[in-house]
Chains A and B, each alone.
Chain A
Amino acid sequence: MGNRTVIPIGPYHPLQEEPEFFRLWVEGETVVDIDVNIGYNHRGIEKLCELKTYDQIPFVVERVCGICSTSHPLAFVNAVEDLADIEIPERARYIRSIIAELERIHNHLLWVGLAGHFLGYNTVWMWAWRYREPVLDILEKITGNRQNYAMMKVGGVRRDIEDADIPDILRLVDDLVPAVDMFKGAILDDPVLHARLKGIGVLTKEEVHNYGAVGPTARASGVAVDVRRDDPYAAYDLVDWDVVTQEEGDVFAKAVVRVLELYESVKIVKECLERLKKTKGEIDVKVKEIPSGEGIGHAEAPRGEVFHYVRSDGTNRPIRHKIKSPSYTNVPTFKATVIGGTISDATITLAAVDPCYSCTERVAVVDKKTGRRRLNGEDLVRLSQEKTERIKRSMGL
């Protein structure tokens, strides 16, 4: 055995927004073992949910994850609707899918950007995040918020999408396609990325099964698991779309799956919007009480299956609410993918499962007296440009 050294990454690291601690044991450049420590951010949300009513819990669980902020409420309402045998109106089913797919689009763009950043390919990072912004604008238009949309409720959705807004949303979604084409070219045709990512961090089909890996992490290894198709909810069995898979299981395949899924998500959103125009009626059913019993709901979050189990004793609060997020079984696959690789490949291999980071920060300066916004997005861009000019002048440029 060679000389073994420990390289700690975290728990607080400038690149990571959330605390998590990786210990890499290395011999020379080769990683020989890894240990992952979590729990720095445990908030006791399962326990908290036992103290909230069925109507309040969607608001709590959308704070499980800043990015998958609609997947958790969706899995939760699926679980309660399974428990109480509730059928939701068709209109609500389309709206649920639209929100969930817009979430997937902005999540995958976020990941493409971060992956570029991890590789030192910052142009991709800037461009991916630039095209993520209009997606958040659409979500803000529909829900009033860029994140934490508060759309899901037991029995339907909380807000409707007005017919008058549909053309605008469709235009914004259409505008995404050329951008996705660009990313597809920038990533899939780039010889440097091929050299950097192919054959790196390979996860085999067997290890996907052993670890219970889900989402793009599993689909990039040729395992076609997708709750949207396997156990359809919302409108996924009403519209036409495909499950994207790749066979190689390396980091490149994981990138390909995510980029190609963007096209499927755009397709789903567009078809749901078209059908929404023709589907009139309520957006929710009245739910009077939740009987005693148990229910299971799952939803395909951008990172993979989100799973919720709910036990009811017939009161207005659950007696147990179990939540399983995709990273819980994706992150442990590092044991299978990082060991044997080099230190320089470890960061992108770790990033390839898209471990969860929260990104909900924004700024709005509001005048307290009038309630008016004093600074908006355009003002911030202008201020930033003015500052750059000032710095350039002071440097004599």
Chain B
Amino acid sequence: MNEIEDLKSNLKDLIIKWQETQRRVYFDVQKEDVPRVVGYIFNDLGARFIIVTGMDTPRGIEMLYHFGLDHLGKVVSVRTFIDGDRPEIESVTPIIKGAGWIEREIHDILGVNFLHHPNLKRLITADDWPEDKYPLRLRPSSGKGPEG
């Protein structure tokens, strides 16, 4: 049994939707389950953390946590949606040190608040960039006009 099968059987209660091609796996989970799922993939399966993609969609802020299962040649992406009006999710940086920067970046560009992030200060937006403007948001974040 390989890691993909392990993943499917061990997390079967948490997986909402599963899509798989020869080299890519995408699956959806609830945002509350993200630390558990990510912790399992990173620590138990030993997958390589690649990056997190954040994007604003009509369904809310979509987050994709990408991992490499390199010896299988597969990229596994865990998908979750966060309420766009009050975007908040548990940080995975306490589990994966390498996620520190990307969570800070998503905080900068989409305004997601990562709970329990050890150091959620600005990474890429300029020091004088306004507090309540998020360049990759589709909707106005404070009702004060368009973004960016």
Of residues 58 through 77 on chain A, the ones whose CB sits less than 8 Å from some CB of chain B are: none
- Contact at A209–B101, with CB atoms within 8 Å? no
- Contact at B125–A322, with CB atoms within 8 Å? no
Interchain CA distance A307-B66 in the complex, whole Å = 10
- Contact at B124–A210, with CB atoms within 8 Å? no
Q: CB of A93 within 8 A of chain B?
A: no
- Contact at A320–B97, with CB atoms within 8 Å? no
Interchain CA distance A186-B66 in the complex, whole Å = 41
- CB B69 to nearest CB in A, in angstroms, measures 9
Which chain A residues border B97 with CB–CB below 8 Å?
Answer: 210-211, 332, 335
Given contacts A82-B23, A332-B98, contact A231 B51 (CB under 8 A): no
Interchain CA distance A369-B11 in the complex, whole Å = 71
- Bitwise, A304-330 to B at CB < 8 A (1) or not (0) is 010101010000000110101000110
Residue of A nearest to B102 (CB): A328
Q: Which of B28-36, B42-50, B83-91 contacts A (4 or more CB under 8 A)?
A: B42-50
- CB B14 to nearest CB in A, in angstroms, measures 21
Q: CB of A225 within 8 A of chain B?
A: yes
Of residues 284 through 317 on chain A, the ones whose CB sits less than 8 Å from some CB of chain B are: 294, 296, 298, 305, 307, 309, 311
Which chain A residues border B7 with CB–CB below 8 Å?
Answer: none
Given contacts A307-B66, A309-B53, contact A212 B24 (CB under 8 A): no
Interchain CA distance A83-B135 in the complex, whole Å = 26
Interface residue tally for chain B (C-beta within 8 Å): 34
Interchain CA distance A224-B131 in the complex, whole Å = 42
Which chain B residues border A47 with CB–CB below 8 Å?
Answer: 135-136, 148
Which chain A residues border B73 with CB–CB below 8 Å?
Answer: 230-232
Which chain A residues border B51 with CB–CB below 8 Å?
Answer: 212, 307, 322, 324, 328-329
Which chain B residues border A296 with CB–CB below 8 Å?
Answer: 24, 66, 75, 77
Interchain CA distance A329-B97 in the complex, whole Å = 10
Interchain CA distance A301-B122 in the complex, whole Å = 27
User: What is the interface of chain B mostly: helix, strand, loop, or mixed?
Assistant: mixed
Q: CB of A120 within 8 A of chain B?
A: no
Given contacts A47-B135, A212-B50, A332-B98, contact A38 B26 (CB under 8 A): no
Interface residue tally for chain A (C-beta within 8 Å): 31
Which chain B residues border A230 with CB–CB below 8 Å?
Answer: 68, 70-71, 73
- Contact at A212–B49, with CB atoms within 8 Å? yes
- Bitwise, A323-348 to B at CB < 8 A (1) or not (0) is 01000110010010000000000000
Residue in A44, A212, A225 whose beta carbon sits within 8 Å of that of B98 in the complex: A212
- CB A334 to nearest CB in B, in angstroms, measures 12
Residue of B nearest to A36 (CB): B101
Interchain CA distance A239-B135 in the complex, whole Å = 44
Residue in A44, A213, A309, A324 whose beta carbon sits within 8 Å of that of B135 in the complex: A44
- Contact at B48–A209, with CB atoms within 8 Å? yes
- Contact at A309–B64, with CB atoms within 8 Å? yes
- Contact at A212–B101, with CB atoms within 8 Å? no
- Contact at A210–B98, with CB atoms within 8 Å? yes
Q: CB of A392 within 8 A of chain B?
A: no
Of residues 59 through 118 on chain B, the ones whose CB sits less than 8 Å from some CB of chain A are: 64, 66, 68, 70-71, 73-75, 77, 96-102
- Contact at A329–B98, with CB atoms within 8 Å? yes
Known contacts A211-B97, A225-B48; 18 further A-B pairs (Cβ under 8 A): A38-B124, A39-B122, A39-B126, A44-B135, A47-B135, A82-B23, A210-B97, A211-B98, A212-B48, A230-B68, A230-B70, A231-B75, A232-B73, A296-B66, A309-B64, A319-B55, A320-B53, A332-B100
Q: List 8 A-B contacts (CB under 8 A).
A: A47-B136, A210-B98, A211-B98, A225-B68, A305-B68, A320-B55, A328-B102, A329-B98
